[in-house]
Amino acid sequence: MSVWNKGQTRYTNISVKKISETMKRKKIDNFREWREKMRLEGKIKSEYLPLKHNGDLAELIGVVLGDGHIRAYPRTEELSIFSNSNNPSFVNRYSILIEKIFGKKPAKNIHSGGNCIRIRIYEKHISDRLGIPFSPRGNLNISIPGWIISNKKYIVRYLRGLYEAEGSHSIHKPTCTYKVQFSNRNISMLKNVFDLVSRIGFHPHKSKDMIQLSRKKEVFGFIRLIKFRKY
């Protein structure tokens, strides 16, 4: 038997929104007993501790800044990471990383007509604990957490997340052209990547929307270092 409102929320369905507003007006909390039961069973957190600073968190922050969104709702927040549906290894890697960091298994759903997979969790205080502003972030000034800057291993993992999301690698042997690129329209993000890639010993150059390495030795060295596309 199908349920007419399955998968719908007050943000996506007008009828569900009316029901929600009626319950709010009458001060009916239909999920109170369920929430208490889930808290007792440890399935809903009673407190939200700071996330542990390590390489996994550094990489997750990078990939969220590149291909992720954080949205705020009245009682929770949503973290989504998007991937091409032809890249299941990316989906698997970052699903596992989210589960390790947040302690909950993310949902994976087809998005935008089948060409995209969305990895998603809902939880409180995601933005604050990751240190990432809510979306959209296109014109915001994005800073690098100090705990990442102070540790080369964390810098490498942070860059891996960014490049897995927004990076590319190309070789054209007839012209001996080798490139690894990071593309983004946020000025502060481009500066951050340029500074970090330089900090770990490479010589990038910057254009309007891109950071690029083009020395053959550095291209292969950088790819090996961040383990680009090595799932």
pLDDT truncated to tens, each residue of the chain (231 aa)?
455 566 677 777 788 788 778 877 877 776 666 666 666 666 656 678 999 999 999 999 999 999 999 999 988 999 999 999 899 999 999 999 999 999 999 999 987 777 899 999 999 999 999 999 998 888 899 999 999 999 999 999 999 999 999 999 999 999 999 999 999 999 999 999 999 999 999 999 999 899 999 999 999 999 999 999 999
Single pTM value for the model:
0.82
**pLDDT at residue 21 in the model:** 80
pLDDT of 35 reads 60
**DSSP assignment, residue 183?**
E
Residue 71: what pLDDT? 96
Question: What span, in angstroms and rounded, lies between the C-alpha atoms of 28 and 19?
Answer: 11
pLDDT value at residue 40? 64
Burial of 63 (0-12, 13-18, 19+ CB in 10 A): buried
Say if residue 153 is exposed, middle or buried (CB neighbours under 10 Å; 0-12, 13-18, 19+).
exposed
Measured CA angle at 70 (ends 147, 52), to 5 deg:
30
Q: Which domains does the chain have, with CATH numbers?
A: 55-226 (3.10.28.10)
Strand partners for 205: 212
- Tokens 């083009």 appear where? 214
**Helix locations, 14-151, DSSP H:** 14-25, 32-40, 55-67, 88-102, 126-130, 146-149
Provide the pLDDT for residue 167: 97
pLDDT of residue 95: 97
Find all residues with CB under 8 Å of 59, minimum gap 6, and list them. Answer: 97, 157, 158, 160, 161
55-67 and 88-102 are packed helices; what angle lies between their axes, rounded to 10 degrees?
Answer: 130
Note the pLDDT of residue 39: 61
pLDDT score at 6: 64
Exposure string for 173-203, b = 16+ CB within 10 A, e = fewer: eeeeebbbbbbbebeebbebbbebbeeeebe
